[in-house]
Each structure stands twice: as C-alpha cells, then as structure tokens.
C-alpha cells in the first residue's frame, strides 16, 4: 500500500538545538519589535550571548516588549550597571569543586556539571560568569568524579546540572547515567533541566528508554518561571516522562517584572500541576553581576508566599529559598 509522505516534517530536537535564535535583529523581527522598544545592549550580548530556542520563542506574544518570556532572554543595557553586593560568583562555587565538574556542598548529594551548554541563555543565571572551560571534563577526567562518588557511601543522590544535562546527546547521557547508576549506593538520580520546556521534542524515545522504569528513583527538576511557558507540546513531554515513572518537580526564580505578583505565581503553580509537575523551590535571585534589575525585595517575596498560602493548597506552594555560600542547605526564608 502506498503511503503519502508528509511534505513538511517538524524539525527534530537536534535541529532545534542547532538552530537557536542568537541574532537580536532576527528575534526582534519575529516578535515585531523595534530596537528602541527594548533597550538592547551589544556589550552584554558579547559576554553572555543571546540564545533562544524557537519553540519557546513561539510562546512569546509578538509586539509586547514586557512579555514575561521575552524578558527572561533579552540582553538589556541594565545588565551593565554595577551594583554593590553583586559578584561573578555569588554562591562561592569556585571554592568547592572537589574534582573538575563536581560540587559537593550538601550532605548526601553531589552536583555534577554535565555540560557547559544550555538550550537558552537566561539573563538572571547565576552561572553566567562561571569558568566552564575549567569544568568540562573529558571522559577520562569524569573517572575522578565517579571515583569520588564511589568512595563516599553517604552520597545517595547525584544531581546532573550544568549548563543543562539535556542539552547533550543521548549517547553521552547514556554513558554518564549508566556509570553513575552502576555505583551501588546511588539510589536517586536527579536532572536539573530547562530543556523539556524549551524544546519538548527532546523527550524522545531513547531518553525515555534510558531514564524510564529504573530501580533507582529518577527525578527531573524542571525550570519554568511563568505559566505561559507551558503549551500542549510541553504537557505532552511531561506526560511521557511521568508515564515511565519519572518524578517531576519545578524550580523557579522570583523575577521582577516576570512573576513577582500573586496572580503570576498562582497561575504558575496551577499550570505546572495541570502538567503533572509539583512546585519545589522559588529561589530568591542570586546576586550575580548583570542581574540586579530582576531583584525582588525579601519583604515582597514573603508577602507573595503568604498570599499563595492563603490561596492555594499547601502542595502548590513552593519553598521560598536563598542559596548562600558556605551553608549546609538552601536557606528557607
Ligand atoms: C541546590 C544544590 C543542590 C541540591 O539541593 P536540594 O536542596 O537537595 O535541592 C545540591 N548541590 C548543590 C551544589 C546545589 O547548588
Ligand atoms: S537554563 Fe539554567 S543554567 Fe542555563 S542559562 Fe538558564 S538558568 Fe542558567
């Protein structure tokens, strides 16, 4: 029997990842905005380039310079302002690298920098000045991280972070995951990733095969800051992950002009739960150079959380936290 061959195929996630919007002129043209509407800075684009995946871009409202998704990716002149109390390494991570690419700050769990790259560049990112070139171990150097974990039986959980662990290939991820899960005391594997929301097609059959239905628990901590980041494709990606037994949580950053209202935070919690995701952390902004215009005062943050508690069931209220250098856990506020 003859089958009709579809004339238009949607791009694969590999193509999506290779075809990010990096040219501000293209971004503005797609969104029908003018340079003078937004206050772009060529200087900040040089130090931390523009990077926007097209599926995410499609959820931005054209013609709105204040769109909450757009503001997360726009390199603004405000990033050049110098503010006291802000630094390039606000979490003091440079001092706690046990082996290249491994951070052991908290009891029972280690964080691995699986890759330096991300599918998106979030302007508020605390790792925007991180010296990734020193933290990009080759396969041989990974061995020292595996050895470190294997030699510390109290490490029950390994967190793959980055960058974004899902911005890598399935072959690389598979190698890494199998190595880690072969260590007997590693009971939980966690991935901190924005990719399923940025490029939902990334949740493909090989990934589900790799992470699904394992005897260890697999947790994916997604990162969405606004309800508008979800659409039917993202819902479907979350559903595929849940169907193979992966626990889904979400962390957000409290960001001025993006989600610093009761309405935005309530809608976010409701929306992620509709996709089968539970809220985990709401982070206070890390005081990284270039991000001060996103800061929300602590008093406002506490008021917002009180409002959420008064409005939503307890399981939809994220934990408001701040990360402080030298502490044993994130600091609850
Ligand atoms: C946030 C973080 C963790 C995980 O902390 P949880 O409170 O378990 O989510 C682990 N290691 C590092 C270095 C971190 O920054
Ligand atoms: S995806 Fe995460 S690590 Fe990457 S730029 Fe955004 S906040 Fe930073």
Going from N- to C-terminal start, the domains of the chain cover 13-80, 93-332
pLDDT tens-place string over residues 210-225: 999 999 999 999 999 9
pLDDT the model gives residue 89: 83
Residue 121 CA to residue 182 CA, distance in Å, equals 33
Contacts for 279 with CB less than 8 Å, ≥ 6 apart:
249, 250, 252, 268, 269, 272, 273, 315, 316, 317, 318
Q: What is the pLDDT of residue 202?
A: 98
What is the Cα–Cα distance from 273 to 281, expressed in whole angstroms? Answer: 14
192 Cα to the center of ligand 1, angstroms: 10
* pTM for this prediction: 0.94
Q: CATH class for domain 93-332?
A: alpha beta
Low-confidence ranges of the chain (pLDDT < 50): none
Which residue from 44, 163, 198 has its CB within 8 A of the most atoms of ligand 2, so it is best to mutate?
163
Q: What confidence score (pLDDT) does residue 100 get?
A: 83
Per-residue model confidence (pLDDT) at position 135: 53
How far away, in angstroms, is 14 Cα from ligand 1 center? 29
DSSP-derived secondary structure letter, 20: -
Residues near ligand 2 with C-beta < 6 Å? Answer: 118, 120-122, 125, 127, 162-164, 194, 223
pLDDT tens for each residue of 27-53 = 999 999 998 888 888 888 888 999 999
Ligand 1 mean position to 220 CA, how many Å? Answer: 13
Give 282 Cα–ligand 2 centroid separation in angstroms: 15
């Amino acid at each position: 029997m003859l089958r009709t061959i579809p004339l238009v195929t949607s791009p694969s996630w590999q193509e999506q990842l290779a075809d990010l919007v990096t040219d501000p002129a293209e971004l503005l043209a797609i969104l029908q905005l003018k340079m003078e509407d937004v206050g772009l800075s060529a200087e900040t684009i040089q130090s931390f380039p523009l990077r926007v995946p097209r599926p995410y871009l499609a959820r931005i409202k054209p013609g709105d310079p204040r769109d909450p998704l757009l503001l997360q990716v726009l390199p603004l002149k405000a990033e050049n302002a110098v503010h006291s109390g802000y630094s390039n390494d606000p979490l003091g991570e440079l001092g706690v690298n046990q082996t290249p690419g491994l951070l052991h700050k908290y009891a029972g769990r280690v964080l691995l920098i699986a890759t330096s790259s991300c599918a998106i560049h979030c302007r508020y990112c605390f790792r925007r000045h991180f010296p990734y070139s020193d933290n990009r171990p080759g396969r041989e150097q990974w061995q020292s991280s595996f050895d470190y974990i294997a030699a510390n039986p109290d490490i029950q959980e390994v967190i793959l972070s980055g960058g974004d662990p899902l911005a890598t290939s399935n072959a690389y991820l598979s190698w890494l995951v199998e190595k880690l899960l072969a260590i007997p005391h590693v009971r939980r594997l966690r991935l901190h990733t924005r990719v399923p929301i940025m490029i939902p097609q990334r949740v493909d059959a090989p990934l589900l095969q790799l992470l699904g239905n394992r005897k260890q628990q697999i947790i994916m901590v997604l990162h969405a800051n606004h309800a508008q980041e979800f659409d039917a494709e993202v819902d479907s990606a979350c559903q595929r992950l849940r169907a193979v037994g992966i626990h889904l949580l979400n962390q957000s950053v409290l960001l001025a002009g993006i989600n610093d209202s009761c309405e935005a935070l309530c809608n976010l919690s409701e929306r992620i739960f509709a996709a089968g995701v539970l809220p985990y952390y709401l982070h206070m902004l890390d005081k990284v150079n270039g991000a001060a215009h996103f800061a929300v005062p602590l008093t406002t943050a506490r008021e917002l959380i009180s409002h959420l508690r008064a409005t939503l069931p307890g399981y939809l209220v994220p934990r408001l936290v701040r990360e402080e250098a030298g502490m044993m856990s994130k600091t609850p506020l």
